[in-house]
Amino acid sequence: MKRLIAAAAMLAATAAFADGRFSAADVPMAGIRQPGKVVIRNSGASITAYHFFGNIREALFSLRTSPARLRTTPFGPVLYDSSARLSPRMPAYLSAMFTEAARTHGVDPRLVAAVAARESAFNVHAQSSVGACGLMQLMPATARFLGVGDVFDPRENVLGGARYLRTLLDTFDGDLDLTLAAYNAGPGAVQKYGGVPPYRETQAYVRAVRSSYESAIKR
């Protein structure tokens, strides 16, 4: 997450929407048309954030995958099993939030919990040295892109993090390692290196979250 905003800022959507303005007819699949809202649209080949106001859409940023360079290995349908049960040892209030967020965005709540455990150790007040906040350690600008009004509100934070996980899973064809690497280092870094970036922190992050998630599946 530390490098996400820098990557997003550098990869502005100038090719398809040169002037940053277009009609609602240009994005019929976006689905949400509430003035002033930010919508994340995933086409399977790109992640694009739009700011909606009236009948005008502003492209905030767009990150495109590179099919020729990225080899993906789908983890399997379990990633999208939103009905999975969490460990009974988890505090009830956390279990409820992870379960709601997972069902809302169609991801496995055990994955959401594994990410939160690594990101914040389940500390709702956690804040990193670079400004990532809350349970899912969302950067303030990322939170705004995801429609999170209060980054320190636990429920909003987890819903935003689950939404972002689902977007990344769809973008990287269900490849768990690439999804986790993008969550930590940004999708731009994954594209740049054609896989998990050679950052020690990111590689350790992917191993740790994957291990935690796989252990939860086997319980």
Tokens of 172: 């990287």
Distance CA(198)–CA(185), nearest Å, equals 10
Edge-first strand order for the sheet with 46-53 is 21-23, 56-64, 46-53, 38-42
In sequence order, which residues have a C-beta less than 8 Å from that of residue 202 and are 6 or more positions away? Answer: 181, 184, 185, 189, 196
* DSSP 8-state symbol, 35: T
Catalytic residue among 119, 156, 201, 214: 119
Amino acid at 170: D
**119 is an active site residue:** yes
- Active site positions, annotated: 119
